[in-house]
A and B are shown apart, each in its own frame.
Chain A
Amino acid sequence: MPTKRILIIDDEETIQTVVQFGIQMSAGWDVLLASSGAQGIVIAQTEQPDVILLDVVMPAMDGLATFKALRSHLATKHIPVIFLTAKVQTAARGQFDGLGISGVITKPFNALHLPEQIARILHW
């Protein structure tokens, strides 16, 4: 699989670190990190990643708001977005329907398996 660039938007530093390590370890992809929706949007615009992994629950600007903002910008509207969400919230998954997100990955996950999951969701 060719090298991909992934942007992770998650306010948890530990999750960022572990995800970055796991993805690089198992697939060697480039991982970009953002700690907030606002930061993520800027990075997405300038770096044009192949996919964005977006935490749903974040303070200030949550995942949904971030996603809508990404969709409204010309430079980022085409980038596929996968939501990261806790298992208990899967029941509320209906709220994501019709938004145009590419998929959902539930926490907790093994970061080593993320590239495989992402590739499967996006048919890479």
Chain B
Amino acid sequence: MKILLVEDDDVLIKVLTKTLKAHHYIIDAVKDGEMGWTYGSTFEYDLIVLDVVLPKLDGISLCKRFRAEGYVTPILLLTSQTANSAKVQGLDAGADDYVVKPFDQAELAARMRALLRRGSPNPFPLLTWGDLMLNPSTCEVSYRGQRLDLTTKEYELLELMLRDTQHVFSSDELLDHLWSSEKFPSEATVRSHIRRVRHKLAAIGAPQDFIATLHGRGYYLKALQTEVAMPTITPPPLRSPSLEVASEPKIDCSHDSTSSLPVDDRSTTAQQQYLAFLNETWTTTQPDSIDQVRVLLQAIGDLHADQLTPQHQTQAQHLAHKLAGTLGIFGLHKAVHLARQLEHWLGGQAPLPANQAPLMKGLVTALQQEIEATSQIQPSQIPSGQSPLLLLLSDNESLNHALQAIAASRGVQVELVSPLALDTTLSALDATIDEIGQAPDVILLHLSIDRAMYSHLGQAQPPSLLQICTQRYPALPIIVMGDRQEWRTRLEVARHGGKLFLDTSTSPEQVIATVVDLLTRSKLPTKVMVVDDDHHWLRTLPTLLKPWGFKVTTLADPQQFWTVLQAVTPDVVVLDVNLPEINGYELCQMLRSDPDWQRLPVLFLSALTDASSQQKAFTVGADDYLHKPLMGGELATRILNRLQRVQAYQG
């Protein structure tokens, strides 16, 4: 990335050049506005950084001139004036952003990255292409997670190409972008750099032609191969029925940079991009938040002097509310909690009595410290992030301890509700759930706690914790631990919605393994393939099944059956009996005779209600038989039943 710096202060030029070089930027520095114009209008830059006060031609006028002449290069203004008028003037002149001197180096770098991103066709903070990932904020490059050691030029070359993966870069373009205007390397230099990067990429497992050559034109990143195993089949398009019969299933082979990644990788990449984006945003949010805390401190000062007007109190309350909201996005739980407390106090009595000032001051100071201490957003902080939450209701301390340790190693968060006073368990449960700000993904209930609770409350029968859990989270898997020998207990558990019963002798490792198993099961969407020649039915079906999170593929032409089956790899197939050319029974027999597919759950769905049709279906290997018409819920329940059986066998 090439940057033009127009700045007349030698010290600042030196400092900035050093910082920017550390980020692998190529810098041309000039000292007055006229030179700035000469360079900016002659060479190509990805970003122009302008001081407002400059000899010969000031920064605002220079900025206006660039814009008037049609230059769209992002412009960042450096200003020592904090007055709003100067900022407004600068932005009106066509600048994209400004930084007030003295500035924080990290903030400046972050703002520059944001501007560079805006100017590039790739809007993401992390640049990726297939398995290659480049993080501009840390300057790290990796291929399949393996670190790639690159020289500065090699890094710059890759970054440039990753910023516009659809572009073929000519040698001239690369020369323009990668070397400052004082240097005049030859085309051979470009070739040797390309060769070295290719070599390093190949050494780490990338294809030889990761960077491909288009003879006579230049270099580009080669389009990624779409894996055959991962095509996306779209249901037949919803056009007129006559057209639909002829339509073939569409296989989506779009060559965007992420299409070849397996689903998991894709969401990991998304998480990484999101985290990188949060960190970038934090570098500017942090100083803003500290400013806001200062305003709060001011208000507390006024309160101390008994001079806080109700109007200012309301403003301070709003500020605390905004802070809580903003900090929440970054997952700063403690700071959010402090801001919420402040909001609560400020929203109470108006005017506040002055004697509240010390308490409030303590809160604001703690808030300030939390914000200042956060230099980086950690992956574990992100609210309701990737790590699933296990809500643990148990008073068995040694078990709790073991479970927490093992869960942590498996990437599962644990929230423990351990009652000290038994009759507060329910409110403790509520409070914990509200506090963690994330709904649990699975609940583990140790029966001793439940038993103890209702005997304590003098209730022989539930409402038990189990019931409360199932009422509050009807869709959630609930694991109950208890004594396997007690038949009555097991019955109660089953009656009240316990999903799995584990004996108290189960080892903590096994318990967590079960949790992980349940979690992974429920995470992947179930793929349902429906074969039916009733177009109307095929059209409504995906909507009917949607609430259950199924991924539905519909097919009207049984001739396509095998192709689509292999492409979709469904978890369950729903077949109509009467189909053109090949009927449902025959399709089912084909499945049952294939070693790869013979275990696939097959449900028949037909308007035929007679016993012999049903009998025939079961003879050819059907798992279930349903009659049309039926509700979406009914079909979903039957599908889920089949899948649970299958999973139980496999597990």
Contact = CB atoms under 8 A, between A and B. Distances in A.
Interface of A: 10-12, 14-15, 17-18, 21-22, 24-26, 55, 57, 59, 86-88, 90, 106-113, 123-124
Contacts of B328: 86, 107-108
A100 to B, nearest CB: 20
Contact of B274 (A12, A21, A124): A21
A26 to B, nearest CB: 5
Contacts of A113: 384
Nearest to B329: A18
A18 B278 contact: yes
B326 A86 contact: no
A106 B556 CA distance: 42
25 contacts: A10-B325, A11-B322, A12-B326, A15-B329, A17-B281, A18-B281, A22-B274, A25-B124, A25-B270, A25-B273, A25-B277, A59-B318, A87-B434, A88-B434, A106-B437, A107-B325, A107-B328, A108-B325, A108-B331, A108-B336, A108-B383, A111-B274, A111-B329, A113-B384, A124-B546
A11 B322 CA distance: 8
Interface in B296-345: 318, 321-322, 324-326, 328-329, 331, 336, 340
B474 interface: no
B135 interface: no
A75 to B, nearest CB: 26
B285 interface: yes
B572 interface: no
Contacts of B384: 108-110, 113
A111 B285 CA distance: 17
B547 interface: yes
Nearest to A59: B318
Given A14-B326, A110-B382, A90 B270 contact: no
Contacts of B326: 12, 14-15
A119 to B, nearest CB: 9
A29 to B, nearest CB: 14
A107 to B, nearest CB: 5
- Ranked 4 nearest A-B pairs via Cβ: A108-B328, A108-B383, A14-B326, A110-B384
A90 to B, nearest CB: 7
Given A87-B437, A110-B383, A14 B273 contact: no
Q: Which of A22, A86, A112, A124: most chain B CB closer than 10 A?
A: A112
A86 B274 contact: no
Given A11-B322, A12-B326, A15-B326, A110 B437 contact: no
B385 interface: yes
B359 to A, nearest CB: 19
Interface string B259-290: 00000000000110110011001000100100
B325 A15 contact: yes
Contacts of A22: 274, 277
Contacts of A111: 274, 329
A110 to B, nearest CB: 5
A108 B337 CA distance: 12
Nearest to A22: B274
